[in-house]
Amino acid sequence: MASLFAFGTTIAAAGEPNAGAKVFKSECAECHTVKQGHNKKGPSLFGIVGRPSASLPDYNYSDALRSRHWTWTEDQLRTYISQPAKKADPGTKMKYDGLDDPKQVDDLISYLSTLH
């Protein structure tokens, strides 16, 4: 069950990391890995939470993502993965239709937050 925690003035939904690992496997693992230093078709998502966008030196990011200057916060990840990639980041190379189940989004972000 997801719960809410207050962090300063921000309220973040906490998902279930074990459930998020399953979401990762079904939604992300075809193109991404969670192994540090390894990329697939997409960049490694190891350490993604808190990392600046387009910052892995050994991955060829799209010009669109390099120009965004985002930090992959939980909120930014939620916005990005809950809609089609082409809408979230016009010009992206990523082909993904988005994840529309808020619980799965929270679970996935919770899982990604454990990878450091």
Domain boundaries along the sequence of the chain: 17-113
Q: Which residue, 94, 115, 76, 103, is CA-closest to 13?
A: 103
> Is residue 1 over pLDDT 50?
no
Give the CATH number of domain 17-113: 1.10.760.10
Q: What is the pLDDT of residue 14?
A: 80
Q: What angle do CA 89, 45, 111 make, to 5 degrees?
A: 105
Gap between the Cα atoms of 60 and 41, Å rounded: 10
Return phi, psi of residue 39, to 5°. Answer: -120, 155
Instruction: State pTM to two decimals.
Output: 0.86
Higher pLDDT, residue 65 or 12 = 65
Average confidence (pLDDT) over 48-53 = 97
Name the pLDDT band for 102 (thresholds 50, 70, 90). very high
